[in-house]
Amino acid sequence: MSVHDELQKTIADMVDGSRGILAADESSGTIAKRFAAIGVESTEENRRFYRASLLSAEGLGDYISGVILFEETLGQVDDRGVPLPDVAAAQNIVPGIKVDKGKGALPGAPGDLITYGLDGLAERLAGYKEQGARFAKWREVYPISPGNPTRLGLTANAEMLARYAAVCQSVGVVPIVEPEVLMDGNHDIERDAEVNEWVWHEVFHALYRHGVVLELMILKPSMVTPGKESTRAVPEQVAEYTMRSLRRAVPAAVPSINFLSGGQGPEEATANLNALNQLWQAPWQLSFSYGRALQEPALKAWAGRSENGPALQRALLKRARLNHLAMRGEYRESLELE
């Protein structure tokens, strides 16, 4: 199979109009915080059990088309000794891998950040493919302040995303491009829309320069929302501002936009996605790639106790099903009580 055919098959398997992506790629530090919130120690065995339970939830593949894994998870097995990427694939869920190496300050642009991990990326991707990964994810983050993001921050982060995406496509791995505009701050929704448009314009200019084939990638952006310290917006307002900005900045050639949840709670993220899909016909699939907004109820149901594995899976399946309905514009708040 040619590289192009590999990419096309992965896109076809992940973009079907009714399923989204489970982000289960928390770094060691992040998963430790999530576990600490429920009083669980972040040991390798606890991480293995938890993530194996997520992936083996019967029927998950009805709502989830892909899962982003952390490098450790890619090499782990379930209680039967089956590699976790194979557990996902058995449910028609495409395994993927987070490939960036975290972020740090961007020199010359106070307040802006840059993500590391391009060195040796092609070689790492070859190894990940052997372990079953068919797509990858790279995240750049953009703080909002009166002076951020700077012009350098916009261009440098876009360049990193484009270089990563080009490397992925060169070896037959579909890139998920994630430019996350952070929710931290007291900015209003108009400011957030302005920054997201700047970011998306810059990212797609860079992708074009690097020859990235837009039909063979997935965009994972933020929704347009006010900052966490500002007045919350209703779903219809989030949808209107998000769609307007997307239409101004994102080419129609992109097959799927899988929103990140950022700081949104599970119900909020689902309601906002539902409003987006009710607004009007979009040229892209509007889907989800949620981490905490899918996993938070599952973590609480589990509480670190193996006997709670079935409850963990039921909680995950409920949220996955509700977001599947939101992709169709069929979600209702009353469904939360069922």
Q: Could you report the per-residue pLDDT of 50-67, keeping only the tens digit for each?
A: 999 999 999 999 999 999
- Going by pLDDT thresholds of 50, 70 and 90, the confidence category of residue 322 is very high
Which pair of structure tokens corresponds to residue 131?
């372990």
- The DSSP call for residue 212 is -
Q: Which amino acid, residue 209?
A: R
Give per-residue burial for 257-280: e unless 16+ CB within 10 Å, then b: bbbbbbbbebebbbbbbbbbbebe
- Does 221 reside within a domain? yes
Q: Annotated catalytic, 220?
A: yes
Find the catalytic residue in 71, 220, 268, 296. Answer: 220
Nearest to 121 by CA among 160, 67, 154: 160
- Going by pLDDT thresholds of 50, 70 and 90, the confidence category of residue 281 is confident
Is residue 239 pLDDT above 80, yes or no?
yes
Whole-angstrom distance, CA of residue 74 vs CA of residue 83: 8
Q: Annotated catalytic, 6?
A: no
279 vs 266, higher pLDDT: 266
Provide the domain limits for residue 94.
7-337
DSSP lists the bridge partners of residue 179 as 140
- Does 95 reside within a domain? yes
- Does 2 reside within a domain? no
Whole-angstrom distance, CA of residue 246 vs CA of residue 203: 13
Is residue 280 pLDDT above 90, yes or no?
no
- Does 157 reside within a domain? yes
Whole-angstrom distance, CA of residue 93 vs CA of residue 19: 10
- Does 38 reside within a domain? yes
Find the catalytic residue in 6, 71, 159, 178. Answer: 178
Is residue 338 pLDDT above 90, yes or no?
no
DSSP strand pairing (174-181 vs 20-24) = unpaired
Number of domains present in the structure of the chain? 1
- Going by pLDDT thresholds of 50, 70 and 90, the confidence category of residue 1 is confident
CATH number at residue 84: 3.20.20.70
Q: What is the mean pLDDT of residues 268-292?
A: 95
- Does 1 reside within a domain? no
- Going by pLDDT thresholds of 50, 70 and 90, the confidence category of residue 279 is confident
Which tens digit of pLDDT belongs to each residue from 70-109? 999 999 999 999 999 999 999 999 999 999 999 999 999 9
Whole-angstrom distance, CA of residue 332 vs CA of residue 328: 11
- Stated as kind and residue range, the H or E segment containing 114 is strand 113-115
